[in-house]
Every structure is written in structure tokens, then in C-alpha cells.
Amino acid sequence: MQGEQLSCVIIDRLPFAVPSDPVVAARVKAIDADGGNAFFQYQVPAAVITLKQGFGRLIRFAARSRPARTAR
């Protein structure tokens, strides 16, 4: 949808990587082996980057008359 048809987008979930992915599983295992917290050190930062990229694509997709807003 474009223009006036789309007035609000709600993102209700963070885009976490699939834990069964071999690359994700290997990184999680390595962080855990070093005594770290894989969720906060790898999965959350990666999800935030993916969310920012997706939001950036959304606001660049078309010029809109209304500004994009985020909830805190």
C-alpha cells in the first residue's frame, strides 16, 4: 500500500534470527563457551540492526506527507 491508504505501521516483534540456523547456532555456542550472554551480546544487537534497516527501507520507499514516528 502506498500514499493515503497507509497511515500507520505497527511493528510488534523484533526480527530475531532463527536459532536453528547453523551460523547463528555456532555464534551462540562460541559466546556461551566464552562465558558471555549470547542473547544480549549477539541476538538483540543483530535484531536491532535488522529492525533499523527495515524501518529505513520503509521510510525511503516513497515520499510521504506524514513523518514516520516510533513509540518508546
Which one-letter amino acid corresponds to residue 44?
V
pLDDT tens readout for residues 10-69: 777 888 999 999 999 999 999 999 999 999 999 999 999 988 888 787 777 655 545 556
Q: Is residue 59 part of a domain?
A: yes
Q: Is residue 11 part of a domain?
A: no
**Dist. CA 2–CA 21, nearest whole Å:** 34
**CA dist 49 → 6, 9, 43, 65 (Å):** 24, 18, 10, 26
Tally of domains in the chain: 1
**CA dist 1 → 22, 43, 46, 60, 66 (Å):** 35, 31, 28, 14, 15
Which one-letter amino acid corresponds to residue 32?
D
User: Does pLDDT of 72 surpass 70?
Assistant: no
pLDDT for 28 equals: 95
pLDDT for 12 equals: 78
Domain enclosing residue 66, as ranges: 1-6+19-72
Q: Is residue 36 part of a domain?
A: yes
Q: Is residue 65 part of a domain?
A: yes
Q: Is residue 48 part of a domain?
A: yes
